[in-house]
A = this chain, B = another copy of it.
């Protein structure tokens, strides 16, 4: 089977170098050489989170596991939690908060729009929340929310801020320190370019003290910090091979540099949108709210969009995703994340979609779509 080009909203393509790191012979989770590798990974994660926090590491689970860690750490009965949601992943945070026993206020903004800071301010005035949660890059809609503004509000109202950076970390700026965020988390399989299975997280210094109150043992940051700290107290067996992979992916990122990395994501998403526009597939998101890592377009009218995606996957070897929630059936989600945020995979994706449309009788200008994508790539800053 030839390699599938993963252009959905994650998992993103993983380089041969990163995959090879997983094939390395294992080390024990208390081996000093493994601990040195883990220390290096933690330092690299601090760089990409723009965080100085000691407790910056990968949760041994996926991005949703990191989300649950944030929720069980900060939300419990008696605490008021305001979730500012504009999509499925904001709703997911709310579902977890509901289970935590905390007092949830869910403010949902329309699908395809970002969190409105003015409305957020009014809700904070009404609710006086202990905790505010927001998704920086909503994976269900391809919309970015203005976390700078929300973070300023959280600070003004004295609330602990949770930021979901699953689809943003490594693809656009994340400012954990500047935001003074309590917890920011992400996933390994998006813009970081590693396989799914780890949930990077950064936890503001001093936030975790007495963790006996958390409902989860596995996600108990107090216990985990004793393994990461100088005591090296065993908590659970670290997922060694996955940590090798993420450490390798982070070395790639460090060598490239954050600024170059972010520029590459901007160029790739602009090129993708330009190419798709020529094919008649237009963004469902307003220009000001676009993400550099994920493009969401309306699928072609009059054709079964799941059939088209299946043909794209099986005949062209290119994976993209359909819509979630209210956009099921009316959206295509196409990622430009990590190794996918390069001109070649973007051109291949545009051409493949074009061929599938042509195969279904649509008159599309595939070469023109490609040249428009390449031109836009070159012209984007």
Question: Which A residues are closer than 8 A to B by beta carbons?
Answer: 1, 3-4, 6, 8, 10-11, 13-14, 16, 19-20, 22-31, 33, 60-65, 67-68, 92, 95-96, 99-100, 187, 189, 195-197, 214-218, 234-242, 245, 313, 319, 321, 324
Contacts and interface: CB of A to CB of B under 8 A. Distances in A.
Nearest to A19: B23
A197 B189 CA distance: 15
B99 A240 contact: no
| Copies of the protein in its oligomer | 2
Contact of A20 (B23, B30, B237, B321): B23
Please report whether the interface of chain A is mostly helix, strand, loop or mixed according to DSSP: loop
Contact of A99 (B95, B96, B217, B245): B217
Given A62-B239, A236-B63, A22 B25 contact: no
A237 B23 contact: no
A215 B25 contact: no
Contacts of A235: 64
A92 B217 contact: yes
Contact of A241 (B22, B217, B240, B313): B22
A236 B22 contact: no
Contact of A216 (B14, B28, B31, B99): B99
B99 A195 contact: no
A371 B93 CA distance: 60
A318 B25 CA distance: 13
A212 to B, nearest CB: 9
8 contacts: A4-B28, A6-B28, A11-B26, A13-B26, A14-B241, A29-B196, A62-B239, A64-B236
Contacts of A13: 26
Contacts of A26: 4, 6, 11, 13-14, 19, 195
A113 to B, nearest CB: 23
Contacts of A218: 61, 64-65, 67-68
Given A11-B28, A13-B26, A92-B217, 5 more contacts: A14-B26, A63-B237, A95-B217, A189-B237, A234-B324
Nearest to A59: B61
A331 to B, nearest CB: 14
Given A28-B6, A60-B61, A239 B242 contact: yes
A238 B95 CA distance: 20
A195 B236 CA distance: 13
Contacts of A238: 62, 196
5 shortest interchain CB distances as A-B pairs: A197-B239, A22-B22, A64-B236, A195-B241, A3-B25
Contacts of A3: 25
B196 A240 contact: yes
Nearest to A2: B25
A14 B241 CA distance: 10
Contact of A196 (B4, B196, B237, B324): B237
